[in-house]
Amino acid sequence: MTEHHTDAVALIERTIAALRPLDAEAAAAAAAAMDGKVKPLRSLGDLESLAVRVAGIQGTASPTVASPAVVVCAADHGIARDGVSAYPQEVTGLMLQGFAAGTAAVGVLTAQAGARLVVADLGVVEPPQIAPGQNEVLDRRVRPGTASSLTGEAMTRAEAEQAVAHGIGLAHLLVDDGADLVGLGEMGIGNTTTASALTAALLERDPARVTGPGTGVSGDALAAKVAAVDAILRRHEDARGTWDVLARMGGLEVAALAGVILGCAERRVPVLLDGFITTAAALVAWRLAPVSVDAMIAATLSPEPGHAVQLEALGLEPVLRLSMRLGEGSGASLAIPVVRSAVAVLAEMGSFADLGLAEASPHA
């Protein structure tokens, strides 16, 4: 083990050991305050539960969303060369340039949400050329893309650990800069195949149930994609434990996003999951540290068939249902104003007590 690698393992162990569950006292105080607001009891529905959840995660009855951020992790997948995507592998690197230029969907949506956008390269095959004055792409490259999980192991365990440690480091960077809500995004051609394999393996589901069109494969190509996921599962059926599954199936950005979740959970910062791939990272984080699910909020429900399966396993309900299947952090960005509004209601709405009314509950 190199010194670098020993540091990565120590960081992961320290982070997981520091995780704590939802603060029940803060959540109960927020729920009581919400019940006292001038409105029919529970009339703001899920917006109320959202505020209470953020209170429980942040560990305070007065939570804030003053400085939201979205972190997009990008990497390439060896499997992309096996015909499982509607787009060629080169698109991953090209999209990184779009993130740097601010022209990609997530650039537009984070600007709308008033959120900081941070992009990290965990290992695209061709590193992007970033022009001066463009948004930075953080270099967290572990290797230039994974190997195909169909013919071998996507990466080594040490590489998976390095990627998770990078994710924890990214979370710490954001939180140290003041982030109080973090959305997840990813970019990686082929990564819905990786996410399907991870989901099928970790949740012991039939590949056909958790494999879908991704960027848009259909017909025979979709049948071939399901067969590829099936073949990945059979090739790695002797995988033992979450780390082994993650290393063998990939991907680098999925591992990093699992690290972002762990790092945010440790610092009591809520994490907005995006679509199917970020939720595969959530499954990894959950399996490495079950209590990390307490820091998660599901932003959207992707039409990718495995996403509902993942969210059910995690016990999460999506904030929004907009049939979005872009990834990139687009769904997480859109949910930020909703979470911010939930917290604002808790902070700013008047209560029956303010009006001199002791009785906030309806007639018997």
Ligand X SMILES: O=C(O)c1ccc[n+]([C@@H]2O[C@H](COP(=O)([O-])O)[C@@H](O)[C@H]2O)c1
The residues annotated as belonging to the active site are 328
Residue 327 binds ligand DMD, judged by CB under 6 A: yes
Question: CA–CA separation, 62 vs 102, rounded Å?
Answer: 33
The Cα angle at residue 9 between residues 5 and 15, in degrees rounded to 5: 140
What is the residue whose two structure tokens read 């953080």? Answer: 138
Residue 159 binds ligand DMD, judged by CB under 6 A: no
| Cβ distance to ligand X smaller for residue 21 or 305 | 305
How many helices (H) and strands (E) the chain has is answered by 13, 6
Residues at the contact surface with ligand X, assessed by CB under 6 A: 85-87, 186-193, 214-215, 274-277, 302, 304, 307, 325-328
Q: Rounded to the nearest whole angstrom, what is the least distance from the CB of residue 48 to ligand X in the complex?
A: 27
Residue 275, SS3 per DSSP: coil
162 binds, options ligand X, ligand DMD, none, Cβ within 5 to 8 A by partner type: none
Q: From 331, 266, 278, 332, select the one nearest 306 (Cα to Cα).
A: 278
325 binds, options ligand X, ligand DMD, none, Cβ within 5 to 8 A by partner type: ligand X
What are the structure tokens assigned to 134, written together? 């463009």
Residue 198 binds ligand DMD, judged by CB under 6 A: no
Q: Rounded to the nearest whole angstrom, what is the least distance from the CB of residue 296 to ligand X in the complex?
A: 15
Residue 280 binds ligand DMD, judged by CB under 6 A: no
Query: In 3-state terms, the chain is what percent helix, strand and coil (to 5)?
Result: 50, 10, 40
| Cβ distance to ligand X smaller for residue 19 or 189 | 189
Residue 97 binds ligand DMD, judged by CB under 6 A: no
What separation, in Å, do the N-terminal and C-terminal C-alpha atoms of the chain show?
68
What are the structure tokens assigned to 185, written together? 């995004």
Part in contact with ligand DMD (CB under 6 A); list of ranges 155-163, 253-261, 323-331, 336-344 = 323-331
Q: Rounded to the nearest whole angstrom, what is the least distance from the CB of residue 109 to ligand DMD in the complex?
A: 12
Residue 91 binds ligand DMD, judged by CB under 6 A: yes
| Cβ distance to ligand DMD smaller for residue 54 or 118 | 118
What are the structure tokens assigned to 82, written together? 């096996």
Question: CA–CA separation, 142 vs 155, rounded Å?
Answer: 10
352 binds, options ligand X, ligand DMD, none, Cβ within 5 to 8 A by partner type: none
Q: Rounded to the nearest whole angstrom, what is the least distance from the CB of residue 102 to ligand DMD in the complex?
A: 14
DSSP string of 65-103, one letter each residue: -SSEEEEEEEE--GGGGGT-SSS-THHHHHHHHHHHHT-
Binding site for ligand DMD (CB under 6 A): 87, 91, 95, 187, 215, 326-328
